[in-house]
Each structure stands twice: as C-alpha cells, then as structure tokens.
Amino acid sequence: MTTEPTPIPGPAPRAFFFDVDGTLVSHRTKRVPPSTVDALRELRRRGCKVFVATGRSMPEFGYLPLDELAFDGYVLVGGQEARDAEGRVVFTDPIVGHDLEVLRGEFSARRRPILFYESDRLYLNLVNDHVRRVEGDVSTPVPPLGEPDGSPVLKAIVYQTDEEAADLMARLPGCKPTRWHAGAFDVVPVRGGKVAGIRALLERYGIAPEETMAFGDGENDAEMLSFARTGVAVAASDPAARAAADVVCGDIDEDGIARALEGFGLL
C-alpha cells in the first residue's frame, strides 16, 4: 500500500465506485467538495462509468447533498440492491428464512434499536438518545418508526456495539455484521456486501473487475476496495479499509479524491 498515487499501467479503469458517507460527502462541511464534483464529471465526460456504492437506500438520496452529480448506477443498502442510471432495480438479495424470523422477533421485542431497510422504505422499532447520536454523526435525520408489512428486508442496522449485540448475532448463522460506526453496524446475508451489488452492475454494463477502481473509508468498504483492481482509502479511513486498499489518498476536505485521480493519470 502506498500513499502516493502514480500512473496506472495498462488500460485505464472503465468503472469507478464511490462510497458516499465520508468519501464523497464530508460530514464536516455537509457537502461534496467542488473538486470532487468536477473530477467525477470529467470521468463521465471521458466515457467512464461512475457509480455509488453505499449503505444508503434510494429514498435517502432525497436529503443527501448529491444534486450536482449524475451516476451511471447505484449499489445500495450495503450491496443488497443495485439499480441502473434510471433507478430500475437490477439486483436484490434480501435476508430470508430463519435469520429473517429472528430479526423480526427481535424487532418486535424492542430490546434494542433496530432499523429495517426495504427497497423503498426504512423504519425503526424504537428511538433513543443513542440512535439520535449515531444518525447525527452521519448527518442523517432519524428514520421514522414503523412495522414490517411482509415486504423483503434487505438489511438491518443494529444500534449497539459488537459486545452488546453478540447474543443476537449468535442467533443469525446466515448473516454477518459490517460495522460503519462505533455504535451501529449492518446485518446482511453472509454472501452479501457491496461486492455483490458491484458484480451485478459490472455484468449489466459488460465491464470486467480488472477495469474498476473504488474509493471508500469504512469497514463496510474493505471488501469493495480489495475486489477492485485499484482500491483507494481516503485519509482517516477505518483500519480495515486502509488494510484492504492499494492506495491511501488525501483527506476528503483537502481535495483528496481529485488529487488521487490526477496522480493516477486519469484526469
């Protein structure tokens, strides 16, 4: 791993995948740096495909500061759903069977805050100060309360530490946790994660994994950074993301993404 992006040998990447929180969007400024906006526009002008790869769902894009950007597709809900540029679902992989029943029972028991993600809605079983702090840290409104209605559940968020939720995860043999905050983590199928959604979009557009570059900062980005031909962790990334990346670039608020793309010889 290096901290100095250098020109990439061989053919340039055709597809770029960007995490949103802490990668495209700064939680300090609550926006995408102008240099990043310009860089992604230039990639698309040159014929590259630009995708987001996020734990967010499509409904959440309504309050994210991404209006200045256009994307060629979306890896959503931590990889459990993928959509094309027009927002059409091209891949989905919900939680099923025993694991879903356990999560629904825990959701109804309200022993701990749990957030369910469906394709077009998300809802909590309870709200407390811990939930408010976690969502505030990622510049997100507290999701509404709600109840399952039988629609597929793509992922759950548990607002606890690993130790506090160890009893729950022990009852979910078909799922794995992926942490994105010290006080909250995603629960997705063991086969899931951002790479599953990325594979679906690469197949949709006829692009090989060897033609990809990915940028991220969280533990839930580590598999994506390892999968891409070139994985880039932004400064102040989670240790798992840094370990999985080929390169660590500069800070988001110091034009790190644009400077990395320039260093790679892609702008």
The residue type of 103 is L
Q: How far is CA 43 from CA 67, 183, 212, 213, 258, in A?
A: 17, 35, 13, 12, 11
Residue among 184, 180, 143 at smallest CA distance from 164 = 184
φ, ψ (nearest 5 deg) of residue 192: -90, -165
For the beta carbon of residue 88, count every other beta carbon within 10 angstroms: 9
Helix (H) or strand (E) holding 187, with range, is strand 184-189
The confidence score (pLDDT) of residue 122 equals: 97
CA distance 18 to 26: 13
The confidence score (pLDDT) of residue 2 equals: 57
Using DSSP, state whether 111 is helix, strand or coil.
Answer: coil
The confidence score (pLDDT) of residue 63 equals: 85
Pairing between strand 122-124 and 230-233?
Answer: unpaired
φ, ψ (nearest 5 deg) of residue 153: -100, 120
The confidence score (pLDDT) of residue 111 equals: 94
CA distance 257 to 263: 10
CA distance 199 to 134: 30
φ, ψ (nearest 5 deg) of residue 162: -55, -45
Q: Which domains does the chain have, with CATH numbers?
A: 15-92+193-263 (3.40.50.1000), 97-189 (3.30.1240.10)
And the tokens for 111?
């022993």
pTM: 0.93
Residue among 216, 107, 87 at smallest CA distance from 155 = 107
- For the chain, 267 residues long, the average pLDDT of each consecutive 10-residue run is 71 95 91 97 97 95 91 97 96 97 98 97 97 92 96 98 95 94 94 94 96 95 96 93 95 94 95
